Amino acid sequence: MLQNDKIKLMNTAQHDVEIHDQFTRQAEPFLERHGRGKDALLGLMAECAAPRPTDTLLDVACGPGIISCFFAPLAARVTGLDMVPAMLEQARRLQAEKQLPNIEWKLGQSTELPFADETFDCVVTRFSFHHYMDPQAALREMRRVCESGGTVLVADVAPRREVQDRFNHWEILRDPSHTCALTLAEMKALGEGAGLELRRQENFSFVMELEDLLAGSFPKPGDGDRIRALFAEDIAAGRDSLGVAARREEGVIRLTYPVAVLAWRKP
Ligand X SMILES: C[S@@+](CC[C@H](N)C(=O)[O-])C[C@H]1O[C@@H](n2cnc3c(N)ncnc32)[C@H](O)[C@@H]1O
Which residues from 95-154 bind ligand X, rule CB under 6 A? 109-111, 126-128, 131-132
User: Looking at 46, 83, 208, 235, which residue binds ligand X (CB under 6 A)?
Assistant: 83
Between 23 and 218, CB nearer to ligand X: 23
Residues 10-69 that bind ligand X (CB under 6 A): 19, 23, 34, 61-63, 66-67
The smaller minimum CB distance to ligand X, of residues 128 and 151, is found at: 128
**Shortest Cβ 235–ligand X spacing (Å):** 25
The reply to whether 168 sits near ligand X by the rule CB under 6 A is no
* Closest CB to ligand X among residues 84, 227: 84
Q: What are phi and psi for residue 246, nearest 5 degrees?
A: -65, 140
Choose between 59 and 234: whose C-beta lies nearer to ligand X.
59
Name the segment binding ligand X (CB under 6 A); options: 80-88, 185-193, 219-227, 235-243: 80-88
- Tell me how many residues contact ligand X (CB under 6 A): 20
DSSP the chain: --HHHHHHHHHHHHHHHHHHHHHHHHHHHHHHHHSSS--HHHHHHHHHH---TT-EEEEET-TTTHHHHHHGGGSSEEEEEES-HHHHHHHHHHHHHHT-TTEEEEE-BTTB-SS-TT-EEEEEEES-GGG-S-HHHHHHHHHHTEEEEEEEEEEEE---GGGHHHHHHHHHHH-TT---PPPHHHHHHHHHHTT-EEEEEEEEEEEEEHHHHHHTS-PPTTHHHHHHHHHHHHHHTT--TTSS--EEETTEEEEEEEEEEEEEE--
Please report how close the Cβ of residue 255 comes to ligand X at its closest, in angstroms: 15
Q: Which is nearer to ligand X, 87 or 123 (CB)?
A: 87
Q: How far is the CB of 41 from ligand X (least distance, A)?
A: 9
* Shortest CB 17 distance to ligand X, Å: 12
Asked whether the beta carbons of 65 and 80 are under 8 A apart, the reply is yes
User: Is 126 or 266 the residue whose CB approaches ligand X more closely?
Assistant: 126
The residues binding ligand X (CB under 6 A) are: 19, 23, 34, 61-63, 66-67, 82-84, 87, 109-111, 126-128, 131-132
